[in-house]
Structure formats: C-alpha cells, structure tokens
Structure 1
Amino acid sequence: MWGGESGGSHFFPREMETIRTRRRSSNPKPLEAFRIAVVNAVERVWVVDEYFLMPDQGKPDDRILMILDWLHPGLVASDIRILTKAHDEINEEMLQLFQLREREINQLQARRPKQCSIQVNTRLKVGFDFIHDRFAILDDELWHFGATVGGFHASVNAASRGWCAIDSGAIEFFEMAWDKCKGK
C-alpha cells in the first residue's frame, strides 16, 4: 500500500503531480486501512517506530491527537504499547494524554474482561538501538512500514501487511525490544 492523499492505494503513484501534492502537504493523510485496523483491534496494538509521535512538519500535538482518535473510548484492544524514541518537542504533558485516554476507556467500559493499558516507552534508541524499519502488530497481524507507522510520511513510501505475528516471531521480537527499553 502506498500512503496517498486519499488514505492509501495498492498502486504506486502514477503522476508526478500526485507525488508533489503529498510531498507539499503539511499534514499527509495516513493509511486508512491502518487506521481502521487500529480502531477495530480486539487484543493488541503494538508499534515500534522512533518517529511515530513526531511529524515531519507541524506540531507533535496534532499527530498525538490523531493517534488518540484511533485509540477511541470504545476501543476493545487492551494491550496498547508504543515503543519510540524521546524527542525534545514532545513533553511529559503530551505523553500524559495517553494515560488520560486509558482511564477514559476503562471508565467508559467498566465491565471490560481486561483493563486497557496504554504504555508509551520513549527509550527505543537508548535500550534497543538495532531497528531501522518500522513495525506494528495489530492483534496477531504484522505490518511493515518503509517510513512512519501508519503512513504519515510525505515522501513516497510503502507498507505491507498480512504476516502472522506469532509465526514470524514478531511478538517475541517486540517483547525482547520492549524489555530492553524498560527504564532503570
């Protein structure tokens, strides 16, 4: 899938104007298929991407608010983890928005079988500086991104999906990276 302005396409761009339009966009539209998969996740949403919260242009507040929209109050998934790196532009107050959303989900759905946990770990480059590409695991499906998870990047980039996260070892790999990045 290519992150076009319509929210994604299975074809690479065919015209230069399409490429230029996205490149000039101050807020490129992410992949609609990824957004829908996050919104409809029933077990887990795990992201490994050092730039997931940090837009190329504009304020990180806007990116964080968009991600929080995906993690809506009716979300069924209970294990949300974002492994990223720290950015000076993203302060603790912005990260607290994820904890507020976690509380909102758990209060709205008081009878959930399992409490929702949203964790943001900004120690990726400190604890596990071995990852180049960006990945997401939604339920048991592995997604691979050539640029920012979700298709936020303005340049031509692609995403692929459909691998079993269990069979591919992606779940164990994520757990290893997460454990190495825990604060001391």
Structure 2
Amino acid sequence: MQCSRVKVAFLFLSVLPWTIMAAKRPFVMDERWVCAVKVSCFDCLKLSQCSWCVKENKCFSNELWGNKGLCVNDTIEFTDFGRKYKLLVSIVENAQCSCQSKENEDNCFSPEVTKGLKCSGRGTCVCGHCVCDTDAANPSKMIMGEYCEYDNFSCDGPKCTEGPYHISQVYENDGSFKVYRDDSLVEKDYSS
C-alpha cells in the first residue's frame, strides 16, 4: 500500500512544475488574426490593423502575408480621422465614418447647392461635416461655418471689422453689400 501512495505523490510533484511554468508564460495572440472574426464593416474598422473588403463582406489584415493583394480595388481602409484632421472622434464614430463615407459626402453641400464643390471649395468633407481649410502663413485669417461659407478676410470696405463674411457677399463703396449665389447677382441690396 505504501508504494502506490509514493507513485501518486511523485506524479503530482512532476506535473506541478510544468503547470507553474505555463502560468509564467502567457499566450499572446497576434492582433492581426483578430480581423478574421469580425463580421461587419463597423466592427472591423474599430481596429486600426484591419481593412474591410466590400465585395466579399470580409474583414482582414493587409499585414498578414496570406492577405497581400486581397480585394485590392474594393477595400475600405482604417482611417484615423481624429489624428488626420485634429478632431475629437471616438473609435465608434471613426468606424461609422469609414464605413459610410460615400453616404456622408452629400452632407457637405449647403441646402441651396446641389452640385459643385463640397464645403464651398474651402474645406474637406470628413464624416459628413466640413473641416475648413486653414492658412498657416496667415493664422488670423479664418474660414468658418457649417459649409465653410464664411471668413473674416473677404471684406475691404470701411464697415469691415472681423467678420464673419459670407463668401458671396460683396461690399460696395457706399457701405452696402450685395449677395451673389452661383456667380449671379441676387436682386437684393442689404444696407448697413
């Protein structure tokens, strides 16, 4: 009877060190493989290492050797809109923006404009919102407005201060201004 107990004790002591060693070495999964389990564009593009293949409805990582050249012409890449445009954009908003970029572009036209330049030609359409251009050489010159339609430098008349001025406003020498839309004069004079 005593011999059988010794064998069990010995077996227990020989297994224990391997269990402790395994606990000291955590298993690390390569984050690029996680892309393959994502089933929607929205979930896929929450991860910076992932891209979404539109025609195959598949999430993948271009960084893996087996995925090189996969879905070349129909891929939505992860874009960090917050870093690129210096905006406060959450991971969720960033993914929504990337997946719906084509639908969001129509939101960058003012209501009275149906075609032409987005953001009045003075900004970039990001996630359905205009991010107005800046002039690094003249930081006091600002373009602003929902569609980048205003600035603080287009006026040269005596009544001009710091704006904002609509890009279609033209100030006359008598202090009044006229409004132009689509390169044609709107028959209204606004007196000061």
> What is the TM-score when the length of structure 1 is the normalising length?
0.22
Report which of the two structures shows the higher radius of gyration computed on alpha carbons: 2
Higher relative contact order (CA closer than 8 Å, sequence separation 6+):
1
> What is the TM-score when the length of structure 2 is the normalising length?
0.22
